[in-house]
Each structure stands twice: as structure tokens, then as C-alpha cells.
Amino acid sequence: MSVRQLPMFPLGSVLVPGSALSLHVFEPRYQALVKDCVAAPDHEFGVVLIDRGHEVGGGDVRRKVGVVARIVRVAELPGGRFAVIAVGLGRLRVLQWLADAPYPCAEIEEWPDDDEPVDRELLASVTTRTRRALALATELGDPVESTELGLDANDSDAATSYQLADAAPIGADDRYRLLCAPGPAARLRMLATLLDDVEAAQQFRLQGP
């Protein structure tokens, strides 16, 4: 596996491969990260979930699995701030955190999905259930990015499993567990189990007081 050093951006949310990430960068150390990434040939940095602490100010505790992200658009705003759009490329595992100088950096290895075959019936079922859970979340007034999954028949099983993991109305910790699944087959099985809890909670809420 490929091992390299990468600038890191710890966040309070989970980025998955194939998903877009919008950032409003105002903290000086991350302004420096954006400038360095834009100057680098690949425009890449790592994103990991913060386990404890906050995005601003440092002192956070970070998870070990994340995603390599590539900046695809950047706009400089007044006061040296940046509006950044990046896209998740593939998974990473942090081997070692390096000194924050001035922003977090880590030695990472890329972590591809395994190739266990996907159960086609399970894929169809999880897709249908995710769409239904999103529709019910909207009906219940829960915040959702979109009820449209935007799946493409030409997408790989890994890409589809990540899209479903990103769209499902679950919390950051559960989404992180899906990110850490060995591959798309295991990810879909895990998501099916998580949807059991989501559906039960939604049905309870729909019954009213």
C-alpha cells in the first residue's frame, strides 16, 4: 500500500469517497493548509473525524481512518478566508500523527476496499430502504441534504455503497463505522442493520404522542 505524508483537516463530520466537501476556512493554520494544497501538484489533503474536541483551536482527538480529499475549487474571501470545495477520493489509515506545523499532518497509508462479492438482492433492498428512510426523515422534519441518491447503474459496488452510507439518515459515529467496513459487501450488511434502528425510530415518531 502507498505510504506518504499528507496535510490533515480534522472535522466533526464524516467524508466518504465520492462525496463533495464544502469548507469555509477562516482559521489561520487551515488557511495555510489551503495555500499549500493549492500550490501542490495533486491539491490533496486528508479528512478525519474528530473523536473529541472541536474543529477550531486545536486540542482535538482524532479517529484513525479517514479519506483523501482533492480540492477542485477554491475562492479567496475577504480577510484571507477561503471557500473550498473538495471531493473524497479514497480511504486512508493514519499510521502516525506528525507535528502541527502549523496545521495537522500525518503519515498515512491508502486503504482500498476488499473485493468480496456483493449480494445483488441486498444492494437493491438497502437502496430502497435508504430512499424510504430519507423520505420519512423529510416528512418528520429532520435535516437531510437531499432525498435524491443520484445513483448510476455504471457505478462500482464500492461507489454505490459509499453513496448509500453518505445519504442514509444516521449519525456521524455510525457513518464512520460504515467507512471502516472492509468493503462494499460488509458495508451494505452493516447499513441494513443500521436501517433497522432508523426505521423503528421513524415508525415510532410517526405514530405520534
pTM above 0.75, yes or no: yes
Q: Residue 52 — pLDDT band, cuts 50, 70, 90?
A: low
Contact between 102 and 28 (Cβ < 8 Å): yes
**What integer is the mean pLDDT of 37-57?**
82
What share of residues in the chain are helix, strand, coil (percent, to 5)?
Answer: 35, 30, 35
* Predicted confidence (pLDDT) at residue 126 exceeds the cutoff of 80: yes
* Predicted confidence (pLDDT) at residue 209 exceeds the cutoff of 90: no
What confidence score (pLDDT) does residue 151 get? 78
Strand partners, 25: 82
What confidence score (pLDDT) does residue 154 get? 79
Q: Residue 60 — pLDDT band, cuts 50, 70, 90?
A: low
Is the bond into 102 cis (omega within 30 degrees of 0)? Answer: yes
Q: Range with the lowest mean pLDDT among 64-78, 82-96, 152-166?
A: 152-166
* Predicted confidence (pLDDT) at residue 148 exceeds the cutoff of 80: no
**What integer is the mean pLDDT of 40-57?**
79
Give CA–CA dist 24/39, Å, rounded. 19
Return the top range by mean pLDDT from 43-52, 53-62, 68-77.
68-77
Residue 27: closest CA among 62, 70, 58, 63:
58
What DSSP line would sit under 61-100, residue for residue?
A: EEEEEEEEEEEEEEEE-GGG-EEEEEEEEEEEEEEEEE--
The percentage of residues in the chain with a pLDDT greater than 70, rounded to a whole number, is 93
* Predicted confidence (pLDDT) at residue 130 exceeds the cutoff of 90: yes
**Which residue is it, cell 479517514?**
66
Q: What is the mean pLDDT of the chain?
A: 91
Q: Residue 56 — pLDDT band, cuts 50, 70, 90?
A: very low
According to DSSP H, which parts of the chain are helical? 28-39, 120-139, 157-167, 172-179, 184-207
What confidence score (pLDDT) does residue 70 get? 98
